[in-house]
Structure 1
Amino acid sequence: MTTDQASKPSLTRARFDPVQLDKVPEVGLFLERLGLGGFDADTVVAHVGRNDNWAGTTTSGAKVFVKRVGGEPNDVLRRFRRITIFEEIASRFSGTELRAPAFLGADEEHRLVAFEQLEEARSGSELSADESFDDALCRRAGRLLGTLHALPVEPGTLDESPHPLPAIEDFEALTLPVFASSCFAEIESWALLQRDGELIDALRRLRQRELGAPKVAAHCDLRLDQYLVCDGDLYLTDWEEFRFGDAARDVGGFVGEWLYRVIQGIPQSISREPGHVFGQDASHEDILKHGALEIDRLRPRIREFWGGYQETRPEADEYFAARVAAFAGWHMLDRMLAGARYVARLTAGDRAAAGIGRTVLMAPQAFTSVLGLEGTS
C-alpha cells in the first residue's frame, strides 16, 4: 500500500460507537475464555455492517474483531454455522491463495465469532473508488475465488439449500409485513419490477439454470467490499452465506460490481467532456457514449479477474460464462433494491442500473464478450 493510499480515510476502519460492553458481558467472557483478556474499552470501535461488532485491543495486547451474528431468529444459527464450517474447511487448506482474517474462536450460544483485527485494511469497494483496485489486484481476486471453488469438499459437508435471492415470489407480490415495512423508494422499485413479466421470466430461467448447475464451495454473497487488502495481502471475508452453490453466482457478483461502477462513472465521464456544464442534464446519446467509454475502461479489470479465476479453476461447464453474465445482471437489480432502503426516491442512476441489469438478464449469452468473459487475459 502506497503512502497516498494509507493517508486516505478508510470506510473499513470507519469508527462508530459500538454497543456498550457493559450491556453485552458475554463478549468479555468470550474473549476471556479464548485467553485473550477482555477488551480495553477505550480502544473499542464498531465498523459499518448489519451485525453488532466490536474491534479493539484486549488487555493481553491482542488486536481483535468480534461479531455477533444477528437477524431473523430462524436464520441466525444457520448463518453462524456457515461461518464456523468455512473456518473448519479453510484450516485444512491453509497455505493456498484462499486467505481470510485469522479465526480465533466462536461462541454458539451467543452467536459470537472472533477474528484477528486487520487494522490497516482497506476494502475492495474503497480501493475501486479511488482506482486502486487495479488489474493486478483483480487477477489476484480471481485466483483467490477460483481456489475456493476448486476445493475438494465432499457433498453433505456444507449447507446445500438454495440461495434465497432472487426471491421470485417477491416479484409476483409482496407480503403485507414486507410492504408495510418498505420505504417509498423500495415500493417504487417493486412497482418497476413487478409489472415486467419478461424480466420475471428471465429471473425464473436463471434460478432453474442455477439449480441444475454443478455445485462447489461458494461464498454466495460476493461483493467488492468483501475483499480486504492489508500489508499487501488479499483476504476474502464474511462467510455467512457460505454453502454448496453455483460458482457463477460468485463470479457474477464480482463482474456485476464493475458493471455497477460503469453506471457510477458515467456522470464523471460526461463532466470531462469539453464544453459540458456541471449539473446540466445529459442527452440519451451522451449517456450511451460515455457508458460505452466506461465499459471499455473497466473491462480490463474483469478480464484480469476472469483470467486469474481460470488459472486456479480451469474447468467449468459449457454454460458457465452465460450464467456469470446473468448473475451480473441480477446484481444490478439487487443493488437497486438494497440501495432503495436508504433513499427517499429512486435516482436516475438506480433506474439506469436496473435497465442494464434487465438487458443482460434477457440475453446473457450475448454479453459475455462485452463483459470480458471470453478466453483468458
Structure 2
Amino acid sequence: MPPTSTSPRVQYRSTELETVPAVDRLLRGLGLGGFEEDSVTSVLGRNDNWSGRTDRGRRVFVKRLLDADRDRRLERSLHVERHAGSGLRTPRLLGADPAEALAAFEFLPDARTGAELALDEEMTDERCREAGALVAVLHSLPVGGFDDSPHPLPPVQGLEALSLAHWTVASQAELQMWGLLQRDAELVTALHALRSREPAGPGRTPVHGDLRLDQFLLSGDRLHLSDFEETRAGDPARDLGAFAGEWLFLAAAAIPVTLAGDLPLGRAADHAQVVATGTREVAARRPRVAAFCRGYLDVRPRALEDAGLLERATAFAGWHMLDRMLAAAAKANRLSPVTRAAAGIGRGLLISPAEFTSTLGLDVTP
C-alpha cells in the first residue's frame, strides 16, 4: 500500500475503519467528531490503530486492542494514563470504550520513535538521559492499584516443553531456537534464578514491562513514553535491562554490516573478527545506556539501595536479547549466524551478569 505521509515512520491507508463503527461512536461521543476518511492512516503493529483528522479539526490516534487478554491490557494502560500530569509524559488520553477495547489519544504531531531516532543516530546521550528520567517517573508512582500478576516473561514453562498449540504454529527457526534453550541446562538454571530473584513487597515498583526504543516518541523537543499494556507491579530491573538490551540488539545487528564494509568482497569473517567487531559495536553504544542510567538516577537516586538492581538489570538485558531472537526466529525458516551470535551474547549476560554490568554501561552511580 502507498505511504500517505512524509513522516519517517511508514504509514498506510487504513482498510478496516469502516468495519469498526465503534471508533466513530467513540470519537463523536467524546465531542471530537468523526474521522475524515481521506486523512486516516495506520501503522503496522500488534493492535489495530488509526490516526487522522476529525471533521471538527482534531488530530487523534485511536487504538483497538486485540487478543483474548485485551480487557486486562486496556485496564493496565488506562491505569497509567490516570497518572498523567504527575511528571510522566505520555500521549494524552481523550477517552476509551472498554467494551470495544478502544482508546483515543491526542495525536503527537511529527512524532518519531526512539527506534527511528537510533537508526538515524539521533537518539543521543541527552535523549537517552531524558528517557531514563521518564522511566524513573513511572517507577516512582504509587504501586497500589497496579496489576499485581506476575509478568509472563521469561516464559520458564517453555524451557520444559512448548505447548502443542505453540509447537504447531512455530517456524522451523523458532523450534531450533527453543531446542537450543531447552538443552542448555546452565541457561535454564539462570532463567529460573532470574525469576526467583525478582523482588517482592517493598522492592517492587510500577514497571513498563514491554520497554523498547519504539515505545519512546519524540514530538517537538520532548520525549513521551507510550504503550502501557504490560505495565504492572514488578522488578524495576526489568525495564533497565530492556533498555540496555535494545542497544545490545542494535550492536549485534550491526556486526555483519560493519564486517561487510571492512572485509574484501567475497571474504568471510573468522571468529576473532566477529568477536572484535562485536566488542567495538557494544562499546560504541555503551554511552547511551550510561546516559539512560544517569537520567534514571537523577529521579530515583535511592534506587541503588537495592544492591542487586544493576546485576538483575544485566541479566534482564540478556533475556531481552533472547526474546528478540525468538521474535526474529518466528519469522524465519532457519537460524542465521547473527541470530545465533546474538543469542550467545544474551546467554553470557544471563549466566554471568556481574561480569558484564560495566560493559553495558549499567554501573553508573548518582
Q: Normalised by the shorter chain, which TM-score bucket?
A: over 0.9
- Change beyond 3 A, Cα 1:140–1:8: farther
Match of 2:209 among 220, 225, 246: 220
> Does 2:113 correspond to 1:119?
no
Q: CA deviation at 1:370?
A: 1.0
Q: How does 1:170-189 map to 2 (within 5 A)?
A: 170-189=158-177
Q: CA deviation at 1:204?
A: 0.2
Q: CA deviation at 1:36?
A: 0.4
Q: CA deviation at 1:19?
A: 4.1
> Does 2:193 correspond to 1:205?
yes
Q: How does 1:114-263 map to 2 (within 5 A)?
A: 114-151=104-141, 153-155=142-144, 157-212=145-200, 214-263=203-252
What residue number does 2:301 align with? 314
* C-alpha contact 2:94 2:104 (8 A) present in aligned 1: yes
What residue number does 2:27 align with? 31
What residue number does 2:80 align with? 86
* C-alpha contact 1:65 1:114 (8 A) present in aligned 2: yes
* C-alpha contact 2:256 2:338 (8 A) present in aligned 1: no
**How far apart in 2 are the matches of 1:142 and 1:217?**
15
* C-alpha contact 2:143 2:206 (8 A) present in aligned 1: no
Q: CA deviation at 1:18?
A: 2.2
Q: TM-score, normalised by structure 2?
A: 0.95
* Residue type of the alignment partner of 2:284: R
**How far apart in 2 are the matches of 1:186 and 1:286?**
27
**How far apart in 1 are the matches of 2:198 and 2:82?**
26
**How far apart in 1 are the matches of 2:143 and 2:277?**
47
Give the aligned CA root-mean-square deviation in angstroms.
1.6
SS of the residue 2:211 aligns to = coil
SS of the residue 1:220 aligns to = coil
**How far apart in 2 are the matches of 1:331 and 1:110?**
32
- Change beyond 3 A, Cα 1:279–1:126: farther
* Residue type of the alignment partner of 1:306: C
Cα deviations across residues 176-200 of structure 1 (Å, max 9, x unaligned)? 1110011112111111111111111
* Residue type of the alignment partner of 1:309: Y
Cα deviations across residues 27-75 of structure 1 (Å, max 9, x unaligned)? 1011000100010011111112110111111100100100001112xx1
* Residue type of the alignment partner of 1:20: E
> Does 2:97 correspond to 1:107?
yes
Cα deviations across residues 153-186 of structure 1 (Å, max 9, x unaligned)? 153x110111001111111101111100111121
**How far apart in 2 are the matches of 1:78 and 1:279?**
52
**How far apart in 2 are the matches of 1:22 and 1:225?**
28
**How far apart in 2 are the matches of 1:9 and 1:195?**
45
Cα deviations across residues 79-129 of structure 1 (Å, max 9, x unaligned)? 0100111111224x1xx2x21111100001101000011231111111111
**How far apart in 2 are the matches of 1:57 and 1:135?**
34
Cα deviations across residues 274-329 of structure 1 (Å, max 9, x unaligned)? xx224532110101111111122111111111111111111120000000000000
* C-alpha contact 2:204 2:236 (8 A) present in aligned 1: yes
What is the identity percentage for the equivalent residue pairs of Structure 1 and Structure 2?
46
**How far apart in 1 are the matches of 2:66 and 2:93?**
19
- Change beyond 3 A, Cα 1:39–1:279: farther
Match of 1:10 among 8, 11, 23: 8
> Does 2:21 correspond to 1:21?
no
* Residue type of the alignment partner of 1:163: H
User: Which stretch has the larger CA shift, 122-131 or 279-288?
Assistant: 279-288
Q: CA deviation at 1:131?
A: 1.0
Q: TM-score, normalised by structure 1?
A: 0.92
SS of the residue 1:89 aligns to = coil
**How far apart in 2 are the matches of 1:57 and 1:45?**
10
- Structure 1 unaligned segments of length 5 or more: list them: 1-6
* Residue type of the alignment partner of 1:203: L
- Change beyond 3 A, Cα 1:186–1:81: same
Match of 1:61 among 48, 54, 57: 57
Cα deviations across residues 128-160 of structure 1 (Å, max 9, x unaligned)? 112111111111111111121122x153x1101
- Change beyond 3 A, Cα 1:266–1:154: closer
Q: CA deviation at 1:211?
A: 4.4
What residue number does 2:40 align with? 44
- Change beyond 3 A, Cα 1:216–1:259: same
Aligned residues: 359
**How far apart in 2 are the matches of 1:262 and 1:170?**
27
